[in-house]
Chain A
Amino acid sequence: MRAAVVTFPGSNCDRDLRVAMESVFGVPVRALWHGERDLPKLDLVALPGGFSYGDYLRAGAIAARSPIMAEIVRFARRGGLVLGICNGFQILTEAGLLPGALVRNRGLRFLCRTVDLEVTTTASPFTAAYGEVRHIRLPIAHHDGNYVIDQDGLARLEGEGQIAFRYRDNPNGSTAAIAGVLNRERNVLGLMPHPERAADPRLGNTDGVPLFRSLLEAVHGAGS
């Protein structure tokens, strides 16, 4: 597994994500600086949570225009695996790799809690390892996690099975309780919940581990 986590100015879950990925992948995960213009040979690029550029414009809008993002868009178009968590999800929608947008939570407040989720599809390299497990709990921590998409877009997501996770008790007002979406080609996933905060028995929750294991199996084949 050749994986990397990008650090944008203001990213703050980059270390957490690397630690979680390394614990599942069993190999070092590279740290990439947003200003780099070339990607090394990779199987997976992950965009972490945080407040890139302070979210002073729309969340993720400036980071989506970082030099490295042009490369990541090309990488995704060639079929490379791209994962965006929280602010990373916002960046992926701003970069046009995922449909829809993320706006302020319905309650207008930042919300940090562990929520119940439904794994909506296991037909993806990000969710296959959830198998029969359809009900999981993952932490959320965001101010702008309210996913919006128009009726046609929603119909397409539903028709193509692109909704990866749904909230069971919609905490932020997202359209159709969507917590995570895939692109049509299913090689790009964005989600608001933080699987990297649920990948360590010491923290009392390991429901995020199958997401990373899915990726490992997708790259190396099941049984790795």
Chain B
Amino acid sequence: MNAPPITDELIAAHGLSAEEYRRIRELLGRTPTIEELGVFAVMWSEHCSYKSSKRHLRKLPTEAPWVVCGPGENAGVVRVGAGKVAVFKMESHNHPSFIEPYQGAATGVGGILRDVFTMGARPVALLDALRFGDPSHPRTRYLLNGVVAGIAGYGNCVGVPTVGGETGFHPAYDRNILVNVMCVGLADEERVFYARAAGVGNPLLYVGAKTGRDGIHGATMASASFGADAEVQRPTVQVGDPFTEKLLLEACLELMARDVVVAVQDMGAAGITSSSLEMAARGGLGVVLDLDAVPLRETGMSAYEILLSESQERMLMVLKAGCEAEAKAVFAKWELDCAVIGRLTDDGRLRAYHRGRLVADLPIAPLTEEAPVYARPATPPKPPLPFRPDPEALSIDPDAALLRLLASPELASKRWIFEQYDHQVMADTVRGPGGDAAVVRIHGTDRGLALTTDCTPVYCAADPRTGGRQAVAEAYRNLCAVGARPLAITNCLNFASPERPEVMGQFEAAVEGMAEACRALRFPVVSGNVSFYNETEGRGILPTPQIGGLGVLEDLELRVDLALGEEGLVLLLLGESRGWLGQSLFQQMLLGREEGAPPPVDLAAEARHGAFVRELAKDRLLCACHDLSRGGLAVAAAEMCLAGGRGARLEAPPPHLAPAAWWFGEDQGRYLLAVRPEEAEAVEVRARELGIAIARVGRSGGDALILEPAPPISLQRLEQAYESWLPAYAEEPQGGLEDQRDAHGGPGA
């Protein structure tokens, strides 16, 4: 093959700026080969290098006594007791999922699973945070069907339960949906594997699917905005094979249980190139690759294609020298391809040979450590104007308003989605989708992991700093609400183009807010990813710093649920209610406005309230508990009634608050507790001793929810409102071109 000349067009097509190209030439002291240009383009892409976000991410706290490994590895690691660690991370697959929803979402699941089992952990749970456009946008239904089918097709086949997540709709995501997938695994603390190469001369073993031409430059695609022709990029989306992933998972864990593996890295973005580079860089070593040894799916692949292919279900391992035969026997049992494709060297360089030719000869440290870092100009977000509603608008019938909110795309039951996911496989799911947090037993013990994903994008758009605080605080609250001790978070920071100062301003403020909350709540960040360029033709998404929270329940016996099961329980509202309606769902759904500031987040109160709820859970005083979030008190009460099949009577609003403000205000740091009547007073006394606001707001009982003085709403009507919207919407045939495409491309039993 004749190497093409490196022209300005070629440089631009690789997403490199003229300045970045100048630096590449300076580092090499010569013109790069086409292969080398490709390697730089990927390693220095926003997706791999975090060049716009790095400076700001340093502000996030990453340490706590229970943190074993923070950001920088394939996933974060925290101690969860009984000698076990949880290994977890969340990642975005936004761009590919918009272009090709089934495969984009499926490979998103595949990638995050590999990040976890790469570290020697068995994946035990998946969660998905999804954002779609306006339900009336012609493409939304197609994308929803495709993404959900893709997640189901992959996760169900691999056999890891999808236990939770969230789904939201907003016109800002019309042309840029978000697919964020979180995976949690478990391992013995002393059996965690890191991606740090060691031992000059040790072989590099390639394992898994063969390398094809799919997904070349996926990382570069994910580092640019869409034009009007996003779908033309379909060939850059990879295709998933969950069956091979399952074999790879079992084979890797089987091999890692023996004493033969030094380091492992999955081949994600930029495939062989980035996995070998990153392992060598962390170990301060070099690597020599024989591209002719790579198992190929297609004939005639060039060195450039082999180096940059993003074919899925592949891993790269550093083995102890002499252990090749043992490793090959394990992979042969699982019918997987494997091949030694290189060795570690001590020269700190990546050298790749193809058909006897040295096609790349690059210094590793500059590629990984001297990637450009940008201090992008940022405009601080403008403070939101206050929400000044017409008092008449707030004097509403709470029953009718509640039914409207429960049937809104934001709040409506997501059963249609989560019933397509196997949330019970592995037989450790103690609380699946639909609770404040999912609870998964730590296999073979009586301990549990509590898991949640949270973010309220409209809050973040109005005030990114408060929104960042709120996202972290809500994750914390959801974990406390099931009785768990919050330990750490992962995140996906989804934003528009960092080249626009107002977007950088949003990003900086959101990260600052998150950092404040993480510090105040002792809830460090142990892994995460940044997804910029979520915009199309200059229109960006709402800033969406998606949080994935993990907590531990030391005794599953002490788990608390939101289901209101018994008659005659006293309902206590914990936390202060000021009737905050700025950016509330009530405003959005009933007044058609998105105005004002989001509710402020008092982090000290948040920590105090969370600790108090956990204490009550430990003392077995809570019959049910639910955090208050979108839709406020009335919605929280309705959700508790629906979960337990039991009604409740809630007292009329206090005189100083308008009905809408009392029922639907979104003040933060609040929980609705159900306690036995004979214990209510003791709980109130304890709260007051701690200076925590607490009020009796009602009682459970009957088969209707009553928001005094409004007429009762039967549970049947509540359920009808809550359960009907999504299935009717998702399955409605519309006849548009997009809808006729088969969104169920995958196989499955």
Interface residues, chain A, with chain B CB atoms under 8 Å away? 9-10, 12-13, 15-16, 19-20, 33, 35, 49-51, 53-56, 59-60, 86-87, 90, 102, 108-113, 139, 141-145, 194, 196-197, 200, 202-204
Contacts and interface: CB of A to CB of B under 8 A. Distances in A.
Contact of B429 (A20, A56, A144, A203): A203
B420 A51 contact: no
Given A9-B247, A10-B247, A113-B419, A194 B424 contact: yes
A51 B749 contact: yes
Interface residues of B, number: 36
A50 B418 CA distance: 18
A142 B421 CA distance: 9
Interface in B243-260: 243-244, 246-247
B666 interface: no
A12 B425 contact: yes
Contacts of A10: 157, 243, 246-247
Nearest to A19: B427
Contacts, number: 109
Most A CB atoms within 10 A — which of B334, B426, B556?
B426
Contacts of B422: 110, 112, 141
A54 B241 contact: yes
A108 B418 CA distance: 15
Nearest to A141: B422
Contacts of A12: 157-159, 246, 425
A55 B423 contact: no
Contacts of A112: 156, 418-424
B748 interface: yes
Contacts of A13: 159, 425
B403 interface: no
Interface of B: 149, 152-153, 156-159, 241-244, 246-247, 333-335, 418-430, 441, 446, 556, 744, 747-749
A51 B429 CA distance: 20
A9 B157 contact: no
A59 B425 contact: no
Contacts of B423: 112
Contacts of A143: 156, 747-749
Nearest to B446: A202
Most B CB atoms within 10 A — which of A19, A20, A86, A102?
A19
A141 B427 CA distance: 12
B158 to A, nearest CB: 7
B747 A56 contact: yes
A111 B241 contact: no
A197 B149 CA distance: 23
13 contacts: A20-B427, A49-B425, A50-B749, A51-B157, A55-B157, A110-B420, A110-B748, A112-B420, A141-B156, A196-B427, A197-B425, A203-B427, A203-B430
A45 B728 CA distance: 43
A60 B748 CA distance: 11
Contact of A144 (B244, B333, B426, B748): B748
Contact of A50 (B159, B244, B421, B428): B159
A60 to B, nearest CB: 8
A9 B335 contact: yes
A15 B247 contact: no
B243 A53 contact: yes
A51 B421 contact: no
Nearest to A196: B427
Given A12-B425, A19-B427, A102-B749, 5 more contacts: A12-B246, A13-B159, A16-B425, A51-B243, A112-B423
B114 to A, nearest CB: 17
Contacts of A33: 333
